[in-house]
Amino acid sequence: MTTTEIPAPEGKQYLPYQLKGIRYALGAPGTLIADEMGLGKTVQAIGVINATQPLRTLIICPAGLKQVWRDELNAWLVHKPRGQGGPTVQVVSYGEAQKAFAGGLGLIDLLIVDEAHYIKHADTKRSQCVQAIAVLASRVLLLTGTPVENSPIELWPLLRIVAPKAWDPAATKVGIITAEQKKSHPGEGVNFWAFAKKYCGLKRISRPLPRGGFAMAWDFSGASNLDELAKRLRNTCMVRRLKKDVLEQLPPKRRQVVVLPSIAINDDDLLPGLSEENYETMIAALVADKVKFTEYSKRRHEQALKIADQVIAHVNDCLDSADKVILFAHHKDVIEKFVSAFRTENDHEFCAVVTGETHVADRGAEVKRFQVNPKCRLFIGSIGAAGVGLTLTAASLVVFAELDPVPGRMTQAEDRAHRIGQKEMVVVHVLVANHSLSARMAKIVVKKQAVISRVLDVGGTVYGCGGRAEMTESQFRPGRD
């Protein structure tokens, strides 16, 4: 199959490196797509669906990404699931996958596991469940931008799933390991120990016991022969690109709405019938109606507080794969909650903060610390005070914990990173609660931001309503729907 034969929906196109990733995945029964965050791993996975047209696809992802996947499938699938004997695509959380497997899943044509670093610990029920489900699948795709978060040993559960014939062949599962070794790690047989010895600097260490004394134990946290490991990974199952490697193919900015489904808020009564066409009119009417606007402001504040813990978790996940992150919010107490979560007495340097209460003379120092101090990895700012005039090009990831209903204000804030001196594509995450008015508004706002970019910038800002969709400059040409 040539790159031109990989189907895409009308009006959409894969970026060149994404086509290469899809072709790589088509060449083997298992692939680890480990591209850096923001490069469209989801789109590549859906490209494999489009190319192979599997009868049954199962997608396992964190609960918070289920809606992301549904939106992306709706946007990128060429052949929509029909049911009743036709192709089916099922999206489940890790927890739901365990229940489904217990009930009997049957054979699967394509298994996609998103955020696959969730299964890096082989002794967890989650990892063991995915391992068992993978046996039922004809083709497996694992997606994660951080396949190794601490040490190479974390690769082993992923490799056993995605490329067992290359890394854990059944023919070599012979030779009894000592009882001590079998108890020390849930790895299997000589293949695991050969991997640990060769790539993890396996050694024995003395560890203190809780009640005194010492005991010998195996240490798997090391790293060795890394160049050989990297080459072998790419030759057998892994495709990985960094943003800097494909920068010339990327648009300068990419926006993503991330729906947080675990806290569902139904407030459609505030602006029923809100759409892209009537957005300005209805927002203007909302602002003019003091009673309604007061209620909207109250609910907006309550929602921001409700999702604050999920925002903190999301930012922590982002910091696993991004050197620095910018976090915007609106309300004072919401920002204070973020600051207290990330700025501790032992790690005061970790985040810089600029709000309306930050003295003008101190704002420059906070910005400089974020820009030049490698220990300062998070900038927390209010959309009003920090959304204009500052240069924050040390980060290329911007997260909004609260939505501003005016698209231009959001653009101003995110452009603190998207300025002269920025050498990477800027990725913008807008976090909203499921079924909320903010979720509907966010999807409209990012589309309107894309229109603004089309009018003012000529160049390919992209947006995704759901987290990972892509749109390039060619899709903004006049005459296209």
Share of the chain above pLDDT 90, in %: 37
Compute the C-alpha angle 94/98/103, nearest 5°.
145
CA 276 from chain center: how many Å? 26
The count of C-alpha atoms lying within 13 angstroms of the C-alpha of 115, restricted to the half-sphere facing its C-beta, is 19
pLDDT at residue 84, rounded to an integer: 65
Q: For 183-232, write each residue's pLDDT tens digit.
A: 555 555 678 888 988 998 888 888 777 777 777 778 888 888 988 999 99
- Identical fold for domains 3-201+227-245 and 251-476, yes or no, is yes
The mean predicted confidence, pLDDT, of the chain is: 82
- The CA distance from 193 to 199, in Å, is 10
pLDDT at residue 180, rounded to an integer: 55
- The CA distance from 30 to 96, in Å, is 23
SS3 446: helix
CA dihedral 167, 169, 173, 178 (to 10 degrees): 10
pLDDT at residue 347, rounded to an integer: 66
User: Exposed, middle or buried, 446 (CB in 10 Å: 0-12/13-18/19+)?
Assistant: buried
- The CA distance from 417 to 330, in Å, is 18
For 211-266, list the strands marked E by DSSP. 214-219, 238-239, 253-264
Query: Containing H/E element for 165?
Result: helix 164-167
Q: For 332-348, write each residue's pLDDT tens digit.
A: 999 999 999 998 755 67
Q: For 359-412, write each residue's pLDDT tens digit.
A: 877 888 899 999 999 999 999 999 988 887 788 999 999 999 998 888 878 888
pLDDT at residue 472, rounded to an integer: 27
pLDDT at residue 67, rounded to an integer: 78
- The CA distance from 54 to 341, in Å, is 44
- Joined together, the tokens standing for residue 62 give 């964190």
Mean pLDDT, residues 417-431: 85
Query: What is the per-residue burial (b if ≥16 Cβ within 10 Å, else e) of 65-103?
Result: bbbbbebbbebbbbeeeeeeeebebebbbbeebbebbee
pLDDT at residue 362, rounded to an integer: 87
Q: For 137-178, write each residue's pLDDT tens digit.
A: 999 999 998 888 778 898 999 999 999 889 988 766 555 556
Mean pLDDT, residues 55-81: 87
Assigned fold of 251-476: Rossmann fold (3.40.50)
Could you state, in order of their start, the residue ranges of all structural domains in the chain?
3-201+227-245, 251-476
Task: Give me the helices (H) in 200-247, please.
Answer: 226-236
Assigned fold of 3-201+227-245: Rossmann fold (3.40.50)
pLDDT at residue 390, rounded to an integer: 85
- The residue length of the chain stands at 481
Q: Which range among 118-122, 356-360, 389-393, 452-456 shows the weakest confidence by mean pLDDT?
A: 452-456
Share of the chain above pLDDT 70, in %: 85
Model confidence at 424, pLDDT cuts 50, 70, 90, reads confident
